Amino acid sequence: MLKLRRLVTFLLVLRLVQAASSEQSKLCKPLYTSSEWPSLSAWQSLNASISGNLLAPLPPAITCDKSKSQTYSKAVCDFVGKEWLLSSFHSDDPVSVAYPNWQDDACLPTAISNTSLNCNVEVFPKYVANTTSAAQVAEAVRFSVKTGVRLVVKGAAHDLLGR
């Protein structure tokens, strides 16, 4: 019998980083800035189909970015800086990965770098399906197939490819 050690699976819905011209858009997956990106109501339907487990998280170190006053928090930023070198912090976070180079070092905490305080949220997944059952995983995969939105499965361990 297979015993699942970790029921919770994060499915990350990523968008491509590079801009798509109309010619490219036939080949590329939709970006959230492109017209092919699913409507808000389509995302709400996905959310309903997975029991409200759709998240729209921001990268944790956005709390260090003073230019974004709505999310800036010195206390949270300091906490993120302290946790940053623990792989468990990144595996528990819906969008962070243990090797932030795969995210262009786009949003690092102040404790690690003072050069990337202008967080670029565009390299991070827009939505995360925080699924808790096989049926919910199936819904998320179906949504990705239907809409073309890129799907990335986030594992809970080390992955040198950054997932």
Ligand X SMILES: *[C@@H]1O[C@H](CO)[C@@H](O)[C@H](O)[C@H]1NC(C)=O
CB of 52 to ligand X, least distance (A): 3
Pick between residue 28 and residue 109 the one whose CB is nearest to ligand X. Answer: 109
Residue (7 or 27) nearer to ligand X, CB: 7
22, 39, 41, 52: residue in contact with ligand X (rule CB under 6 A): 52
Question: What is the CA angle 81-87-90, rounded to 5?
Answer: 70
Closest distance to ligand X from the beta carbon of 13 (Å): 11
**Is residue 121 close enough to count as binding ligand X by CB under 6 A?**
no
β-strand partners of 12 = 128, 152
Query: CA angle, corner 82, sides to 76 and 87, nearest 5?
Result: 110
64 phi, psi to nearest 5 deg: -95, -10
Q: Write down the least CB distance from residue 120 to ligand X, Å.
A: 19
Using CB under 6 A as the binding rule, the residues of this chain from 87 to 116 that contact ligand X are 94, 110, 112-114
Exposure b/e, 96-121, CB count within 10 A at least 16 = b = bbbebeebeebbbbbbbeeebbebbb
**Which stretches of the chain bind ligand X, using CB under 6 A?**
8, 47, 52, 54-56, 94, 110, 112-114, 130, 132
